[in-house]
Structure 1
Amino acid sequence: MDIPIEKKRFTKSKIAIIAGTILLISFIIFVFVSSGGKSKLNVDTERIMVSTVTNGVFQENIPVSGIVLPITTIYLDALEGGRVEEIFVEDGTIMKQNEPILRLSNTDLELSLVNQETSVYNLLTQMQISQNAARQNTINKLNQMTDVESAFIEANRLYQLNKTLYDQKAIGRHEFQESENNYNYQKQRMELAQQILKQDSISVQQETNQAKSSFSRTQSALKLMRKKVGDLVVRAPVEGQLTSLVAEIGQSINKGNRLGQIDVLSGFKVRVDIDEHYISRIYSGQTGTFPFNGKNYKLLIKKVYTQVTDGRFQVDMLFDEKVPEGIRRGQSLQIRLALSDEKQAILIPKGGFFQKTGGNWVFKLSDDGKLAYKVDIQLGSQNTEYYEVLKGLNPDDKVVTSSYDNFGDKQELILK
């Protein structure tokens, strides 16, 4: 009869595996406990940027770019259409006021001017004829008035004489009555002649006024027509530099077409593009600064254009004091546009850490500078150089401000 052999539960190999596993787990637990449960990463200090938190003057601003433009630009539009016959100056010429730039020809307009001049001449001739006729008619009425007046004077003399003789009974009643009737008749003729002469004077005055008014309107129309013909010569409206001249000899120009522009060189302004995100915070009088030839200069917002195009709007800024020497039209400027007043704040320099943390935390160095650990913070406003620290940091704290992309999810950095 065979005796069964009892199988051992733990072989030497199993015991070795179990012992090794226990040792490994113990080592891991030891490392975790000794490190406080935080993952660490060795970092070379030469590959990171360490900055000091400071307490200083803070002003929120944003970086914007601007283009230097003339203080005033006058556009040259064709007031009348026509064909380009002559060009007197070249693009870029410094112009004086009323100096001719180019000449157009327009036969229809010039023919209309001739017809208008003829109409004025005919009207003036007709007015002279009418005035002569009115003057002759007045002379005739004055002559008639003279005759009537003379007859009235004679009738009055005879009436007064016969009245005296009749009172003395030197003449009969019939003779006296005849002289009285003639006197009354001549008196009525005299009054009627005076009314006719007065009415003629009023009528002549009205006709003269109407003729003058008609002539004045025609003269105004002629003056306007001459101006339209004169506008065929395009002149500089102000003193400045001619730019963007687009006309060529023989080219047909329609009324209203843009021919070029005159840039007034008495000063400059800066046209600035700003993201529409800031439109509610931009207003006239805000300031901006820019560096030029080693100095900082100040600009003031003069006008805000609220129309948004492609997510941006524009403002015009003027130089606060004098224009920097050497600045030129078309030059690009990098401007710091202030969005708030200056105030005291805790500041942390801007850096690549923000892209990883969103400003919610940062690696802060220990007092001995050998370790950097995570610290929760709260940031406020920002400008081109600093973030405003609201919570989590104090002045003189040292923090890592370079990019955190290579740190992964490490909780602490061991600095070497």
Structure 2
Amino acid sequence: MSAHQPLPLHALSGAGMDRVLPASRWPRWRRAAWLLLPAVAILAWALAPEGLRVPAETLQLAAVQQGPFRDDLALRAQLRPQHQLMIDATEGGRVEAVLVKDGQALRAGQALVQLSNPQREQEVLARTAEVAQQLANLSTLRAAQAGAQAQWRRELAQRRHELALAGEEAERLQALAAQGFVSPLAERTARRQAELQRQLLLQAEQDSQAELQVRAQTVSEMERAVQGLSAGLTLVRQAAERLTVRAPADGQLSGFSLQPGSVIRPGERLGRIDDLRSWLLSAEVDEFYDARIQPGLGAQLLQGGKTWPLVLRERQATVQQGRFKVEFAFVGDAPEGLRPGQSFEIGVRLGAPAAALWLPTGAYLADGGGASVYVLDPDGRHARRRPVQLGRRGSAQVEVLGGLRAGEQVLVGPTAAYEGHAVLRLSGVPAVAASQPLH
């Protein structure tokens, strides 16, 4: 074909490229089934059983009841002595002997442990020697003072004697001079001699007083110094005596675990003495009851078939991790045979019994700022979550203010596994109702 010859018409239209396809292998009814599949799925979802499937035998039910609501609170309290004396080491040293055992009954002043401290022993010896030396010096000063007093007494006696002789001589010469037997000069010389002896006696008396006063002051200062050294020696001896640790009061020894050969430091805790004549019961309370728990509140303990009255003695002001601590004391006598660390169940009366709608404690779960419960449907196959209004909480009851009716069945026990599910689908027979009227 020439390059200038025109192409055929079917070549330009592309009709030569068409071909006949075979018939479809899928029947029309199958294509229709694919189109109906979404609708079938929606219908199946609508007809499927509602809610989370839960075995009914794992659940417990309780009936909402109308009856007396007991406003009581049950607490687990731990027993401890009301008065405890801590035993701390006032001196450090090595444990030479342990004289008592943990849990032993003690008397005031009874020896507990014997310590040894070579430094204290050396201090006692050094202070004793120093006091003895100063006592010897004091004795020497006192002897010198006594000797000086004797010497001055002899000196003054001699001066008085010489003054008396000089006075007699002056009087004798004065009489002779008046008769003309001696010259006036001899008489004046005798008077001057008597005056000199008088002045010497006066000076000797002043000097003796001054010297004896100085000696007395020296002796007094030495006595005070010796008293100070003696007081220091007493303190050192007392410190050495404290190497024998003694019980400060009667009671039972607790927390004592020293062993011979161990070394303790000053201020180290050795144990404590429990006074078993008075007791306290310590417990923790949920912050929900913060406004209702105040000192003076009454409680009771059941022990040995007898009820023992208690009173709230003190409560902790701060709330830690959602709880606060309280302490109860016995009103009157306490049961016999109590031991520190024992745990007891005590009941606290928060208010008088009154008629109310209630359900057992633990049958609700938190839901934001309120509460909700799972309520069993009349058909017994579903439990639906329903918001409720709750009031007071007792040890076994929770007051229902709204959202439930008497006779309705609610789930009791942990429900945290069902969080986020509004409906529970029960498979099997539900458990027997757990709550019964309280008496």
Q: TM-score, normalised by structure 1?
A: 0.68
Q: Structure 2 CA distance, aligned partners of 1:356 and 1:93?
A: 50
Confirm whether residue 210 of structure 1 aligns to residue 225 of structure 2.
no
2:361–2:398 Cα contact (<8 Å) kept: no
Q: Which residue of 1 aligns with 2:267?
A: 256
The offset of 1:219, in angstroms, is 1.0
Confirm whether residue 94 of structure 1 aligns to residue 127 of structure 2.
no
Confirm whether residue 187 of structure 1 aligns to residue 237 of structure 2.
no
Q: Which residue of 1 aligns with 2:365?
A: 355
Q: Which of 134, 138, 142 is matched with 1:127 structurally?
A: 138
Q: Which residue of 2 aligns with 1:145?
A: 156
1:284–1:302 Cα contact (<8 Å) kept: yes
Q: Structure 2 CA distance, aligned partners of 1:183 and 1:277?
A: 110
Gap change, CA 1:312 and 1:376, over 3 Å in 2:
closer
Letter in 2 for 1:199: A
Q: Structure 1 CA distance, aligned partners of 2:88 and 2:344?
A: 31
The offset of 1:256, in angstroms, is 2.1
Confirm whether residue 293 of structure 1 aligns to residue 293 of structure 2.
no
SS at match of 1:265: coil
SS at match of 2:308: strand
Q: Structure 2 CA distance, aligned partners of 1:359 and 1:168?
A: 143
Q: Structure 2 CA distance, aligned partners of 1:184 and 1:311?
A: 105
Gap change, CA 1:212 and 1:302, over 3 Å in 2:
farther
Q: Structure 2 CA distance, aligned partners of 1:308 and 1:186?
A: 97
Q: Which residue of 2 aligns with 1:4?
A: none
The offset of 1:231, in angstroms, is 1.5
Q: Which runs of 5+ in 1 are unaligned?
A: 1-46, 364-374, 411-416
Q: Which of 281, 291, 294 is matched with 1:270 structurally?
A: 281
Letter in 2 for 1:289: Q
Q: Which of 217, 220, 227 is matched with 2:231 structurally?
A: 220
Q: Structure 1 CA distance, aligned partners of 2:218 and 2:180?
A: 56
Confirm whether residue 198 of structure 1 aligns to residue 203 of structure 2.
no
Letter in 2 for 1:137: A
Q: Structure 1 CA distance, aligned partners of 2:203 and 2:355?
A: 103
Q: Which has the larger radius of gyration?
A: 2
Q: Structure 2 CA distance, aligned partners of 1:352 and 1:382?
A: 10
1:80–1:231 Cα contact (<8 Å) kept: yes
Q: Which residue of 2 aligns with 1:322?
A: 333
1:240–1:262 Cα contact (<8 Å) kept: yes
Q: TM-score, normalised by structure 2?
A: 0.65
Gap change, CA 1:342 and 1:408, over 3 Å in 2:
same
Gap change, CA 1:127 and 1:52, over 3 Å in 2:
same
Which piece of structure 1 moves more, 328-337 or 140-149? 328-337
1:91–1:242 Cα contact (<8 Å) kept: yes
Q: Which runs of 5+ in 2 are unaligned?
A: 1-59, 376-385, 425-439
The offset of 1:163, in angstroms, is 6.2
Aligned residue runs from structure 1 range 5-404, under 5 A: 49-50=62-63, 53=66, 63-159=74-170, 173-274=184-285, 284-304=295-315, 312-337=323-348, 348=358, 350-352=360-362, 354-355=364-365, 358=370, 380-384=391-395, 398=406, 400=408, 402-403=410-411
Q: How many residues align?
A: 354
Letter in 1 for 2:339: R
Aligned-residue CA RMSD in angstroms?
A: 4.4
